[in-house]
């Protein structure tokens, strides 16, 4: 089968797409012709510029909705916004996420609750809201951005690792429930990607260990990622496009690690 990756006529929501991986995936989907609903936090003027420039560069329609995805009612409003403004919602990329690093016996309760809400429960609420429309139209792609930490653990990341393992479990169940429909649900598990989320961890490490930023970066990669290179948002975008293609129609419930060899160890 020729690999048809055109997404012309499809509408894609990417949560947390004002930065990092989500932005890379939104651009990759737009490059294949998908209309894009951006979501996330940030400077309103910068977000409006991003929305407009994406529309102009790729010749697609773009919307922005600033839902706080820790709040189920706002996720429902976000999905409705996509459907009302762009006519449907065909692709959902559950990407928004946060991190907090601390030992489990010192982990702040409110950080635990926020990570579970944003990194895990939001995926459930977005899928629940979007699935009826996908069923009605007979096509859908759900892509959950988990992590290498959805497959293996690391110290100091109890909430994040629990949430990401949960995302992979949710992915499998949704894939089974949609197995006889032209709707697929899969997860992508990145290793280290140099985004603001990881830069914060590098800066904290450099400060704590009295190292340069460059040394802290090398140490971070050296501990976990055998390639010693960061994964890029564009590489993750390429996989998201593939998962939306016809060639991927029978890929269901898979957690794809894109991690420079992290979980092969």
Binding site for ligand NAD (CB under 6 A): 15-16, 18-22, 39-42, 68-70, 95-98, 118-119, 145, 147, 190, 192-193, 195-198
Decide if 216 contacts 206 (C-beta within 8 A).
yes
Residue 75's alpha-carbon distances to 40, 117, 251, in angstroms, are 12, 12, 26
Residue with Cβ nearer ligand NAD (182 or 226): 226
Is 160 designated active site? yes
CB of 114 to ligand NAD, least distance (A): 8
Decide if 128 contacts 79 (C-beta within 8 A).
no
DSSP helix/strand/coil, 88:
coil
CB of 118 to ligand NAD, least distance (A): 5
Residue 140 has φ and ψ, to the nearest 5°, of -170, 150
Decide if 43 contacts 60 (C-beta within 8 A).
no
- Residue entry with tokens 């020729």: 2
CB of 103 to ligand NAD, least distance (A): 20
Decide if 187 contacts 256 (C-beta within 8 A).
yes
The catalytic residue among 64, 112, 124, 160 is: 160
Residue with Cβ nearer ligand NAD (141 or 217): 217
Decide if 187 contacts 146 (C-beta within 8 A).
yes
CB of 162 to ligand NAD, least distance (A): 13
Residue with Cβ nearer ligand NAD (10 or 149): 149
Residue with Cβ nearer ligand NAD (94 or 178): 94
Residues catalogued as catalytic:
160
């Amino acid at each position: 089968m020729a690999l048809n990756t055109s997404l012309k006529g499809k509408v894609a929501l990417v949560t947390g797409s004002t930065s990092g991986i989500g932005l890379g995936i939104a651009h990759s989907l737009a490059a294949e012709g998908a209309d894009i609903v951006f979501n996330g936090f940030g400077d309103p003027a910068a977000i409006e510029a991003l929305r407009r420039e994406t529309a102009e560069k790729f010749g697609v329609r773009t919307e922005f909705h600033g839902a706080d995805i820790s709040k189920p009612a706002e996720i429902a409003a976000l999905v409705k916004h996509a459907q009302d403004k762009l006519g449907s919602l065909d692709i959902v990329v559950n990407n928004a996420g946060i991190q907090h690093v601390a030992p489990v016996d010192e982990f702040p309760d409110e950080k635990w609750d926020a990570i579970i809400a944003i990194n895990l429960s939001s995926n459930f609420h977005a899928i629940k809201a979007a699935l009826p429309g996908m069923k009605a139209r007979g096509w859908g792609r759900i892509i959950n951005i988990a992590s290498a930490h959805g497959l293996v653990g690391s110290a100091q990341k109890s909430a994040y690792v629990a949430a990401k393992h949960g995302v992979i479990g949710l992915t499998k169940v949704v894939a089974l429930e949609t197995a006889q429909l032209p709707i697929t649900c899969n997860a992508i598990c990145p290793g280290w990607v140099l985004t603001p989320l990881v830069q914060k961890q590098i800066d904290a490490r450099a400060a704590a260990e009295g190292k340069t930023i460059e040394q802290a970066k090398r140490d971070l990669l050296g501990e976990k990622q055998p390639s010693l290179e960061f994964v890029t948002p564009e590489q993750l975008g390429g996989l998201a496009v593939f998962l939306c293609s016809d060639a991927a129609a029978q890929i269901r419930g898979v957690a794809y690690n894109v991690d420079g060899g992290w979980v092969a160890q």
